[in-house]
Amino acid sequence: MTRWRFALPLLLFGLLVLALARGLRLDPHEVPSPLIDKPAPPFALARLDDAARTMRRDDLLGKVWVLNVWASWCEACREEQPSLLVFARSAGVPLIGLNYKDTRAQGSAWLERFGNPFDASLFDATGQVGIDFGVYGVPETFVIDKRGLIRLKLVGPLTAEAIETRIRPLLKALDV
């Protein structure tokens, strides 16, 4: 019996390895969201470029739209900006930014420097709306349909490939 005591560390380590192996296989870009096919959380936020203009979720009802969560402090957002800019030119749907836990000055300066693909950016200084959307990290991208349901969520920087294979086909399907 006492001999088995010495095998205990090995056992614990085995469990740890199982978890780590599973963690490796999880694609961090492919996070199943409990919000898929659920209504997008309601929000009313001021625009980044104009504090006096408020946008609400229901303003966008009846339209398919894309929400991209970004921040000036986010390194990875810089990576996805070129593909977003290309996408914005031919998307055919509103591309809305959610400027997450940022300051107005830094957010605006960042858009000026790296380009602004958004039809509008919402200013979410406290991150409350981001939390409602279940944001884990920045950047994240959501596709929301005409009825206001979240249909797709992508975590991490958007690649041109993800836009072509995931977002565009979905937009096509939703727009019909």
Partner 1 sequence: MIPELGQTALLLALAVALIQGTLPLLGAARGHEAWMRLARPAAQAQCALVTLAFVLLAGSFVRNDFSLLYVALHSNTSLPLAYRLAGVWGGHEGSLLLWLTMLCGWMLALAHFSRQIPLPVLARTLAVMGWIAAGFLLFMLATSNPFERLVPVPPDGNDLNPLLQDPGMVIHPPLLYMGYVGFSVAFAFAVAALIGGDLGTQWARWMRPWTSAAWSFLTLGILLGSAWAYSVLGWGGWWFWDPVENASFMPWLAGTALIHSLAVTEKRGAFKSWTVLLAIVAFSLSLLGTFLVRSGVLSSVHAFATDPKRGLFILVFLVVVIGGSLLLYAWRAPKLGLGARFDAVSRESMLLLNNVLFVVAMASVLLGTLYPLLLDALGLGKISVGPPYFDAVFVPLMAPVAFLMGVGPLARWKRAELPAIALRLRWAAAVSVVAALGAGWLAGRITVAASLGLWMSAWIAASIATDLWQRLGPANPAPPRARLRALPRPVLGMLLAHLGVAAFAFGVSMVKTYETERDVQMMVGDSTEVAGHVFTLQGLQRVAGPNYDAVQALIAVTREARPVTLLRPEKRVYRVQGTPMTEAAIDHGLTRDLYVSLGEPLAGGAWIVRVYCKPFVNWIWGGCLMMALGGALAASDRRYRAKQPRTAATADAHALPDAACGTVHIAGAAP
Residue 1 as a binder of partner 1 (CB under 8 A): the answer is: no
Tokens 């088995």 locate to 4
Nearer to partner 1, 65 or 110 (CB): 110
* 51 close to 104: Cβ distance less than 8 angstroms: yes
Residue 26 C-beta: closest distance to partner 1, Å: 6
Q: Does position 106 bind partner 1 by CB under 8 A?
A: yes
Count of alpha carbons within 13 angstroms of residue 160, beta-carbon side? 5
137 counts as binding partner 1 under rule CB under 8 A: yes
C-beta of 94 vs 134, nearer to partner 1: 134
Q: Which of 114, 93, 113, 109 has the alpha carbon at shortest distance from 157?
A: 114
Q: Is 103 exposed, middle or buried (0-12, 13-18, 19+ CB in 10 A)?
A: middle
How far apart are alpha carbons 151 and 15 in whole angstroms? Answer: 35
Which of 59, 92, 136, 146 is close enough to bind partner 1 by CB under 8 A? 136
Q: Which of residues 37-96 bind partner 1 (CB under 8 A)?
A: 74-76, 78
Which residues would be at the binding site for partner 1 (CB under 8 A)? 2-3, 6-7, 9-10, 13-14, 16-17, 19-26, 28, 31, 34, 74-76, 78, 103, 105-106, 113, 136-137, 155-156
